[in-house]
């Protein structure tokens, strides 16, 4: 089965073709960074308009790169939530229109399930059960995956997600959009011992996160430094490094706790922040000491992309699922509402 995947949940347009026998055939991604940079963040209306302009050309590009024609597509998967409502509507409308024109099934896919499945696109996918750290601009969650579609939420951020904290810290430091990668690059030059930032909720029982207090602490530090004059490049680098260390320490501590609690030896990490080099290094070291392993997708599959939607869609479509008569998109959609794919679920409301 060849599945066309379309991802338009936020500010990146991703399209891919996945073949259940041959694997990923082709993928393409368009980032809207230049569109939103002057506003310092994502503008939903502009995001929707750019998806309208870019989705179909990317579909044509991916089909051509795969050496196929549209009639070779057996099904279409698209992101139906969570995400920006207007952006989701664009992707869903185009995906269902393509499917209707070709006379093939379509299926809306949960964005975070897509991220969760991205590491399984590797040549050596993990065995179930495993613990997943989904860490991005909008989500920080620890999930136990018992099987595809069978998920248990272990903990999540009670306020700002880790990626959101990176972006807000970037704004406090006057760094350009997108802020997260800018903070990570600046942190490479910083002194990790200059400032003492809190590791939020690590002394609390459980696996929930909270990063808003850390962001406030960083803001106070920056104001204190600014009272003595403009921040020097060294000041900014040191703040960035100490902030990054605080976030990474917090995530590592919670991941170790989750593995011990669930008695599993594999952590799967996905989402935009999973590309952070410091986080990867620390998790590899910390979990290695526990006799556990950490797996994550290649860098291009860490951010939003069509491949993860095509792959997750292929798994559910192959089991007989397809869109109901009146499918919907959802700006909010807890991943725990998902169920394992079964043929009996075909046509049920999402």
Q: According to the annotation, is 138 in a ligand binding site?
A: yes
Tokens of 15: 């399209």
Residue 276, marked binder: yes
> Is 115 marked as binding a ligand?
yes
Q: How far apart are CA 350 and CA 346, in angstroms?
A: 10
The answer to the question of whether 306 is labelled as a binding residue is no
Tell me whether residue 149 is annotated as binding.
no
**Closest CA relative to residue 338, chosen from 318, 312, 320:** 312
CA distance 177 to 183: 10
Is 305 annotated to bind a ligand? Reply is: no
Per the annotation, binding residues are: 111, 115, 134-138, 167, 180, 276, 304
Per the annotation, binding residues for substrate are: 134-138, 167, 180, 276
Per the annotation, binding residues for Fe cation are: 111, 115, 304
């Amino acid at each position: 089965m060849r599945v066309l995947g379309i991802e338009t949940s936020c500010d990146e347009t991703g399209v891919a073709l996945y073949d259940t026998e041959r694997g990923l055939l082709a993928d393409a991604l368009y980032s809207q960074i230049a569109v939103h940079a002057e506003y310092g963040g994502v503008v939903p209306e502009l995001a929707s308009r750019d998806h309208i302009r870019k989705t179909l050309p990317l579909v044509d590009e991916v089909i051509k790169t795969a050496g196929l024609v549209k009639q070779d597509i057996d099904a279409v998967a698209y992101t139906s939530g969570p995400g920006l409502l207007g952006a989701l509507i664009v992707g869903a409308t185009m995906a269902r229109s393509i499917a209707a024109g070709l006379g093939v099934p379509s299926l809306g896919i949960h964005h975070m399930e897509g991220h969760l499945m991205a590491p399984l696109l590797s040549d050596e996918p993990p065995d179930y059960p495993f613990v997943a750290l989904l860490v991005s601009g909008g989500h920080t969650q620890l999930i136990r995956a018992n099987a595809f579609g069978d998920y248990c939420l272990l903990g999540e951020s009670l306020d700002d997600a880790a990626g959101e904290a990176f972006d807000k810290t970037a704004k406090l430091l006057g760094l350009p959009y997108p802020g997260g990668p800018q903070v990570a690059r600046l942190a490479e030059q910083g002194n990790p011992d200059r400032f003492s930032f809190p590791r939020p909720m690590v002394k609390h029982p459980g696996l929930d996160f909270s990063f808003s207090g850390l962001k406030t602490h960083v803001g106070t530090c920056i104001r204190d430094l600014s009272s003595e004059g403009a921040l020097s490049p060294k000041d900014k680098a040191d703040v960035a490094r100490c902030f990054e260390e605080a976030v990474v320490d917090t995530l590592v501590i919670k991941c170790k706790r989750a593995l011990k609690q669930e008695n599993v030896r594999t952590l799967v990490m996905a989402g935009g922040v999973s590309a952070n080099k410091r986080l990867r290094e620390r998790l590899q070291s910390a979990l290695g000491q526990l006799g556990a392993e950490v797996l994550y997708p290649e860098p291009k599959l860490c951010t939003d992309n069509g491949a993860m939607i095509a792959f997750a869609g292929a798994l559910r479509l192959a089991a007989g699922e397809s869109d109901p008569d009146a499918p919907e998109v959802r700006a909010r959609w807890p991943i725990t509402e998902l169920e394992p794919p079964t043929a009996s679920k075909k046509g049920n409301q999402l």
